[in-house]
Amino acid sequence: MPAEFQSIEETRAGLDGAGYLADDSIALVSFLAQRLGKPVLVEGPAGVGKTELAKALSRATGRDLVRLQCYEGLDEAKALYEWNYKKQLLRIQVEASDAGWREVRDDIFGEEFLLPRPLLSAISSEQPVVLLIDEIDKTDQEFEAMLLEVLSDFQVSIPELGVVEAKTHPLVLLTSNNSRELTEALKRRCLYLWLDYPGPERELEIVRLHTPELSEHMARKLVEVVQMVRNLDLKKPPSIAESIDWARALVLLGAEDIDAETLRSTMSIIIKHRTDLDLVTDRVGVKLTDGLIGSRQAG
């Protein structure tokens, strides 16, 4: 049931229904992406829900998700299409005896022998899909240049076949961790969405949504601690994904309260650097002992 969002509110409600709490800008950009048919470049720190947004969009719109995970050295053969040599060879062997070369040649460069990779399959799909190009900043500039044709005209040129144009318009999301500056040409073709760490209220909602078993009091305290930890100058501040993991761990452990001891034993879930661990123990652990956190909890 491919659904079209008609308004920003509808987009937000749709994402909500798919288990993703969207704030104003997320809802607006998702709506615009669909309305204008433009790809969205999503940037932000690791673990704020960039990839999750694409999954939620695919659930909310009822479209299939086609995912292309980028890495260094990714090339056309793995992203766009490849000729199926083996099948071509078999064909030649079968036909060799009774058909001329000309016929065979016309034959073996047909769609039958094409192995579509994520980008081509997203474009040639009968049903509109959500195309996620994950961590685009991990690829080389050459690959970015190749993407331009796909992203702006939604078509792929195959020398032997001609141009394959999109039958349906995919909803494209590109994510980047900003480990490399992307080219202007690519950015110009995209809408830009910056995802940041959420405020306390929104994070509380997210944690509650994903771990309903955790008590209100605990969730609030957890969010307060996580927010405080993020304010420290850390190498790698905890992400939303990690605070959800932490919440789940606390539920599994059956913890009753977050005190300095609980923090110390479970801290490794949200903190991933040794120097960061020390800093958090120093700064936050002390406050938990003194009961400074959680004293402000809302009734």
Burial 37-55 (b: 16+ CB within 10 A, else e): ebbbbbbbbebbbbbbbbb
**For residues 9 and 13, what is the distance between their CA atoms, to the nearest angstrom?**
6
Chain position carrying tokens 């034993």: 265
Indicate whether 213 belongs to the interface with another protein (CB under 8 A). Answer: no
Range 239-298, binding another protein (CB under 8 A): 274-276, 283, 287, 292, 295
Instruction: Provide, rounded to whole angstroms, the least separation between the CB of residue 248 and another protein.
Output: 25
Alpha carbon distance, N-terminus to C-terminus of the chain: 42
Indicate whether 106 belongs to the interface with another protein (CB under 8 A). Answer: no
- Please pick, from the candidates 15, 21, 22, 29, the single residue that binds another protein as defined by CB under 8 A: 29
Residue among 72 and 106 whose Cβ is closer to another protein: 72
- Please pick, from the candidates 112, 142, 160, 257, the single residue that binds another protein as defined by CB under 8 A: 142
Indicate whether 138 belongs to the interface with another protein (CB under 8 A). Answer: no
Indicate whether 140 belongs to the interface with another protein (CB under 8 A). Answer: yes
Tell me the backbone φ, ψ of residue 158, rounded to 5 degrees: -110, 115
Indicate whether 180 belongs to the interface with another protein (CB under 8 A). Answer: yes
Indicate whether 32 belongs to the interface with another protein (CB under 8 A). Answer: yes
Indicate whether 86 belongs to the interface with another protein (CB under 8 A). Answer: yes
- Please pick, from the candidates 8, 115, 148, 255, the single residue that binds another protein as defined by CB under 8 A: 8
Element at 245 (helix H, strand E): helix 240-253
Instruction: Centre a 10 Å sphere on the Cβ of residue 95 and count the other Cβ atoms it contains.
Output: 15
**For residues 112 and 298, what is the distance between their CA atoms, to the nearest angstrom?**
64
Antiparallel, parallel or unpaired: β 155-158 and 81-83: unpaired
Range 42-81, binding another protein (CB under 8 A): 43, 72-73, 75
DSSP string, 141-171: HHHHHHHHHHHHH-EEEETTTEEEE-SS--E
**For residues 72 and 137, what is the distance between their CA atoms, to the nearest angstrom?**
9
Indicate whether 89 belongs to the interface with another protein (CB under 8 A). Answer: yes
Indicate whether 2 belongs to the interface with another protein (CB under 8 A). Answer: no
- Interacting residue ranges for another protein, rule: CB under 8 A: 8, 24-25, 28-29, 31-32, 35-36, 38, 41, 43, 72-73, 75, 85-86, 89, 140, 142, 178-181, 184, 187-194, 201, 228, 231-236, 274-276, 283, 287, 292, 295
